[in-house]
Structures are given as C-alpha cells and as structure tokens.
Chains A and B, each alone.
Chain A
Amino acid sequence: MAGIGTENLVGLNTLVFSSPEFLFRYLPVFLLLFFLCPQKKRTGFLFFGSLFLYALAQPDYAFLLLGMCGMNYLFGLSLKKRTAQEADAQKEERRRKGLLFLAVACNLSLLVYFKLSNVFDRSFLLPLGISFYTFKSVSYLIDVYRTQVDAERSFFAFGAYLCLFPQVVSGPIMRFSEAADGLRSRYNFWERVEDGLKWMVAGLAAKILIADRLAILWNDIQTIGLESISTPLAWLGAFGYSLQLYFDFAGYSMMAAGMGEMIGLPFLKNFDFPYASRSVSEFYRRWHMTLGSWFRDYVYIPLGGNRRGKKRTVCNLLLVWLLTGFWHGNGLHFVLWGLLLGLLVVLEKLWLGGILKKHPLLAHLYVLLVIPLTWMVFALPSLSQIGVYFGRLFPFWGKGIAVNPMDFAKELRMFAPTFCAAALFCIPAAGRWFSRHKKDLPVVIALTVVFWVCVYQMVNMTENPFLYANF
C-alpha cells in the first residue's frame, strides 16, 4: 500500500508495530531505557533511540533522516523573526519569505525526487516514511514563519520531533506545537503506559484480526483473476477492501497514538469512524485526519480556501485533491483517485450537499456505496484493471470469463464473522463504549486475551514461512 501503511519495508522489523520482534523486544527495551533516563535527557534519548530504530530498518536512509533534521533545524532558526526596526520590517519579511520558499522547496524536491525515482525504477527503495517526515518538516517551517511556534533551539528536541519512532513510518503527521508540549510535560509514566497499552492492543486487534484477515479475501479475488469473479463477489471484494484499508491504517494509527501517549505525547486522533459519515467531504474530515488538516492549513487556506468565489474554490479543491492523490503513491490511478474525490467534493459543495443534508439515510447509503467504488480506483494499479473490475461490479458493461457463480457463497462463508466484527467497530457508539469502559476489569481481561490471540496470529503468519505458503 503506497503512502498508507508501510512504504516498501525492508531490513529488520524494528518499526513494524505488528511484529513480535517489535512488541517483545524493541518496544519494551526502548520504554524501559526511556523510563530509566533522567527527565532532562529524555528528549535526547528519544531522538537517538528513534534514529537508531530507523537505522536498523534502513541503515542508508538514516543519514538522510539525520540530514533532514539538521537542514530543517537550521532553516527553522533562520526563519525566526529578528527584532528589527520598523524601517527594516519589510526587508525582513522579504528575507523570511524567500527563505521559507527555499526551505519548502528543498523538502518537497527531495520528496518528489525519491517518488519519481521509484516511478522510473520500481526496484528503487523509497526511504521509509519520507512522505510523513517531509510533511512534518514543512508544517514546522510554515508554523515558524507564521510565528505560530517558536523556532526550536535544541537540536535534540527538533530531531526527536521529526524522528519520533511511533510516527516516523506512517504518521500521524503531528504538529510541532503538539509534540513540543508533550516532550516538555511531566507526567506519571506508568499511568500513560497503562492507557497507551489499551490503545495499542485495540489497534493491534484491528490490524491483525480484521485487516490482515480481510487481506486474504482481496488476495483470493486477484488469484481468481478480476475477469473471472462473479458480480456479488466483486461487491464483497470492494466492501472487504474498504474495511481492510480502514482497519489497517486506523489500527496502525491507534498503536502509534498509544505509544505516543507512553512517551508523553498527547493522544492524536487520526480516524474518527469515517464510514459513519454522510458525505464524501465529511468522510475525509474523519479519515487520516492529520493529512487532511495538513492540506487544509498549508495548501487550501493559503490558496484562498472558499473565500474567493466559487470558481476559485472549485480550483482550490481540485488542486488539493490532485496533490493528495500524488502524495499517496506513484501511478496514474492515484491521481485519478484524487481527482475523482475532488470532483465528488466539488459536486457536494455546489449541489449534492443540500440533498444529502435533507435525507440522512440516503446520505449514509451514498457514502457506503461511493467510497468503496473510489477505493477500487485506489487499489487497482492500472486503468485496464479498473475497467475490468467495474465491468464485474456492473455486469452490463462487460462479461466475465469462466465465472463460477458459487464463488460468492464460498468467500462469504469464510469471511462473514470478520465482516460482522468490522461492521460493528465502524459504528461510533462502539468507540464511545470502549472509551468509557476501557478501565473496567472485564474489558481489561478481554484486552489481555485479545492481545495473545493477536500474538498467536502474528507468530504463525510472520515467523513460519511455510504456514503462509499454504497452497
């Protein structure tokens, strides 16, 4: 999954949260050392510890990450407003603007360089999490420019922010101000660990028990061949993939937020039950929220947002979604996916939104139907495959080849329990219930059991190469 989840992961499992090595070795050792570290030295430990874990996973690119820390630390300091006299204020503003432009250009060109290298040579390995730490850097630089945050004086503190091990691979894209507050705060370590653990177990279960299970369905569909699936299976696949993507990324984000809590960061919500939304626009305010708000604050609003007339608003929205598509990965289908969402968002803004507001039931059905269809454009890497899949979803567009009409019943029998569990946890009330009861003893015991069930799955999926190779 490009952009989402993990990007071309190789090396050791030092940053794969759902691996036994991480859960039983790297994380506990890291936390123990962090706890033993004197309060004053903890920021430095976070920086070096995170960088070390990154280096174990991708040794070469650790220098890139370190370089990015250094570059943006210096840019940040030089973007700081100098106490200049009135007369020089304009000059100072020009200097800062030019510098910001240069700094952002440096960051983005690195990102584009690596992404394009991967387009031309698929075997080229992308630096782990570059999409995320570049965006964190840019947000920091702009915030310093806007004087919303002070340029960080301590290199270790800034480095820790950029390298934070729970966030470096796949976000959430935390703002510097949130991280800085957290890094400096004093708190009861063990209390935070206890709370963070609950989110970690919940996230692990979402990833291992739901997302990884549903991944088998999507794999089955591709093994059969897109042209040979029945129409009901094509729909089951679209729903399955939509849920898989959600539980994979939301699960990952919950684990990241949980670990963030343990090291003192504020709990950062990245998903807010998006499938309960009533429009595509709302869906993306509740899906990968830190990315959405990044584009809002650093692209959409500076371009004028919706304050410069309808035409400009439409252009701004389309541009933001085009960039969102590009950010998610290389390939025309990501751009197409972004534009498709942009069009839907524009349509909702101009016309559809009013109708959806009046008919809530219709609005829910619309989201549950349209979003899975857009995910198919996201998931399938070529236009011809997208064409074939839509031909199966809407069979009047094309005929299947060697279709077995019994395929739907077979797959449904296998995945019905997972679908039921997934649907349940898409309901906001389920989340509220968990937040309210997560301290109750029965819930704590259930979490313990769920944790070991996850470990069972994890060990048998990842550690025994012959068990996943079941033919």
Chain B
Amino acid sequence: MKKYPLLLLLLFSGLLLTGLAFANRNGVYRTYEQNRKAEPVLSVLFLGASDGVFPWSEEETKALPVMAEQETVRETESESAVPQTEETALLETEEEKEPARYDFVPVDQTYLDDALFIGDSRTQGLLEYGRLQENATFYCKTSLTIYDLFRHPKQFIREDEKKKTLEQALSEHHFGKIYLMLGINELGTGTAEYFFREYAAAVNKIRELQPDAIIFVQAILHVAPQKDETDPIFNNANIEERNEKIKTLENGRDIFYLDANEVLCDENGALQSDWTYDQVHLKAQYYSLWRDFLLEHGICIPSDPDSGASDFT
C-alpha cells in the first residue's frame, strides 16, 4: 500500500464500484443495462447518479428510461397516472360547447404583455434574442421536457430567489396567453403516443390552472438538413410525427396550433442551414423571424365571445 498507493486505491475503488454495479444490475440499474454493451460494467453507476439513482435508491424513484426501448416504455405507460380518457375528455367537452372559433390576426408586441412562454433552450433563445423580455414572461430551461412540468415536476422557475415548479408558478400568476414549445428533448424517450398523452395531460393541467388563458401549442421546430439526414432520433420525420399529434389539440377557440417551421425552414422542410450552427438552434439574429411569426398569429377574443366571433372554416 505504501509503495503503490494510487494504483491500489484506484484498483480497489474500481472493483468496489464494479461489484456494486453488478450486484444491482437487475435492480435499480435495470433500465440502464441495455445501454451497457460497449461500456464497462461500472458505467451504470455514473449514468444512474446523474439521474439521481443510487444503489440505495428505491426502484420506484427511477427517472424516466433514457433509451427508446419499447419494453421500458410500455412499463412506464402502465405506471402512468394519466389515463387516456382524461385527454379525450378535454377534447370532447370542448366540442360539446360548440361556441365561436377565431382566426389569427396580426398584433403588436404589447399583445404579449400578459403572455407566458414555456419551453426548452430554443425558447430560451427567443427570450435572449427575440427582444420580448420586456413584454412576456418566460419559464424556460435548457433540456426541459414535457415530463418536467407535472409528471416529475422540476423546480425550473426562479422567482424572487425561490425555485418553483410550474404548478406553483401558475397558481400564483395570471396569464392571458400561454405559448408552449416542448418536445425535442423527448424524442429519445418513449413512443410518440406516450409523449402525446403526457403533452395533452400537461395542456389540460395548464388549462385547469389558467382557465382564461389562450393556449398556443407550438410545433416543435425542425432540425437542419445535415442532422435530419444523419440522426436516427433527432430528425424531422420524428419531429413531424409528434407535431401531427400536437396539432390535434387545436380547437380554434382557446387552444391554437402555431407552426413557425413555415417561416424558418427551407423548401424541404428542414431548418435553414445558414441560420443555425448546431443544426438545432437558430442563430441569434433569426429569432426575430420567429417572434414576427407569433405576432402575425395573434388571437383576439372579445370580452363577449359570441358578439365578435369570426368565421373559422
């Protein structure tokens, strides 16, 4: 030990960690195992640690499966506390009312004074470079997913030096419009159906917490051609599959679908390659196009909805 302390320390700690990983391979690390083929046994310990999963963790506290493995997804689905009926119930009740439907109209920036944006790093980019900070509120965070909103609530909102979950923040404030864009980080997790169920449930919950708000569900922005052609997961076909589902939430009355890809993509429907460095995020100067698109697509609901209803065909 005296002669070769580092060698022995590394050796013993390595063996210990390998032993721990091996012993728990069918326990807390079960879902990480599929990922392990090419890597050392002990790597699952570190993968787990970054999700807050440790050898002494209870199995139920496991984070979402990281791989799009059908089996694990099914498992999570069955655990799902949001029954399918909830989302369909939302849509059905909306349909029963059959009130007026509204058209998009151009609006100015003050329209967004009572707006809230919820999203991942792309929405963060809109906050930083869309020149909307003085109007709208932004609850966004890099790598935010739909699951972080209510399923495994994350405290990603910081207000008055306090960290809050979306539910807490929405209970304390009142918003007139809520813009939601989430879904790219979820591409590697679960099926499109599972994603959509969670998405619809989240919209439902937001509606519950903010009954007067107009909700804009935004299409997930596409990726640029190079990524689209090479990435087995983060490609536009996968994004579109989910957008199609998100679109079905639109009811023309208080939930609207906005697809900014119309102004940000090339003729093949991929994000303009000159407008991005990493194939995923817009460069700063192009966020204004997204903002302008939003301002072209305002919804104005008169205080008495029946009197000002416009045709929506």
Binding site for B on A (CB under 8 A): 20-21, 24-25, 190-191, 193-194, 197-198, 201, 219, 222-225, 227-228, 401-404, 406-407, 410, 441, 444-445, 447-448, 451-452, 455-456, 459-460, 463-467, 469-471
Contacts and interface: CB of A to CB of B under 8 A. Distances in A.
B6 A448 contact: yes
Nearest to A219: B278
Q: Which of B43, B128, B276, B287 has the most CB of A within 10 A?
A: B43
7 contacts: A190-B3, A191-B4, A197-B7, A197-B10, A406-B128, A456-B50, A469-B233
A228 B284 contact: yes
Contacts of A470: 121, 142-143, 185
Contacts of B67: 466
A456 B10 contact: no
B22 to A, nearest CB: 14
A194 B10 CA distance: 10
Contacts of A465: 188, 233
Nearest to B43: A459
A28 B4 CA distance: 16
Contacts of B10: 197, 448, 451
B260 to A, nearest CB: 15
B115 to A, nearest CB: 20
Please provide the 8 A-B residue pairs with the shortest distance between their CB atoms, ordered closest to farther: A225-B283, A228-B284, A470-B143, A24-B40, A459-B46, A402-B285, A466-B188, A222-B277
B129 interface: yes
Contact of B6 (A21, A24, A201, A401): A201
B280 A471 contact: yes
Interface string B26-68: 0000000001001110110011011000000000000000110
Contacts of B43: 20, 455, 459, 463
Interface in B272-305: 276-278, 280-281, 283-285, 287-288
B185 A471 contact: yes
Given A190-B4, A191-B3, A455 B46 contact: yes
Given A190-B7, A444-B6, A448-B10, A460 B189 contact: no
A435 to B, nearest CB: 15
B39 A21 contact: yes
Contacts of A460: 46-47, 50
A445 B13 CA distance: 11
A448 B9 contact: yes
A224 to B, nearest CB: 5
Contacts of B277: 222-223, 225
Given A190-B4, A197-B6, A471-B142, A402 B278 contact: no
Nearest to A440: B5
Nearest to A459: B46
B62 to A, nearest CB: 15
B216 interface: no
B122 A471 contact: yes
A94 to B, nearest CB: 54
Contacts of A466: 66-67, 185, 188-189, 233
Q: Which of A198, A227, A404, A467 has the most CB of B within 10 A?
A: A404
Contacts of B281: 223, 471
A444 B143 CA distance: 36
Interface residues of B, number: 46
A469 B46 contact: no
Given A228-B129, A463-B43, A469 B284 contact: no
A439 B283 CA distance: 49
Please classify the interface of chain A as helix (H, G, I), strand (E, B), loop, or mixed, using the class held by over half of its residues. Answer: helix
Contacts of A402: 129, 131, 284-285, 287-288
A438 to B, nearest CB: 9
A471 B184 contact: yes
B27 to A, nearest CB: 19
Contacts of B13: 448, 452
A194 B6 contact: yes
B87 interface: no
A225 B40 contact: no
B66 A193 contact: no
A249 to B, nearest CB: 23
A17 to B, nearest CB: 15
Given A471-B142, A471-B185, A464 B35 contact: yes
Contacts of A469: 185, 188, 233-234
A13 to B, nearest CB: 8
Contacts of B198: none
Contact of A444 (B5, B14, B66, B189): B5
B273 to A, nearest CB: 13
B228 interface: no
Given A219-B278, A402-B285, A471-B122, A25 B40 contact: yes
Contacts of B128: 404, 406-407, 410
Interface string B8-20: 0110011001000
B4 A193 contact: yes
Given A225-B285, A407-B128, A444-B9, A471 B120 contact: yes
Given A402-B129, A404-B284, A445 B47 contact: no
A463 B39 contact: yes
Contact of A222 (B40, B121, B278): B278
Contacts of B280: 471
A3 B35 CA distance: 32
A25 B43 CA distance: 12
A223 B7 contact: no
Contacts of B121: 470-471
Given A225-B283, A464-B66, A470-B142, 11 more contacts: A194-B7, A223-B277, A228-B129, A406-B128, A444-B5, A445-B9, A447-B6, A455-B46, A469-B188, A469-B233, A471-B120
Given A194-B4, A448-B10, A467 B50 contact: yes
Nearest to B128: A404
Given A223-B278, A471-B143, A456 B46 contact: yes
A24 B5 contact: no
Contacts of A191: 3-4
A465 to B, nearest CB: 7
Contacts of B47: 459-460, 463-464
B122 to A, nearest CB: 7
Contacts of B185: 466, 469-471
Interface in B83-98: none
B284 to A, nearest CB: 3
Given A24-B40, A228-B284, A470-B142, A441 B5 contact: yes
Interface in B143-175: 143
A464 B9 CA distance: 27
A444 B3 CA distance: 12
Interface in B106-153: 120-122, 128-129, 131, 142-143
A403 to B, nearest CB: 8
Contacts of B5: 194, 441, 444
Contacts of A223: 276-278, 281, 283
A81 to B, nearest CB: 45
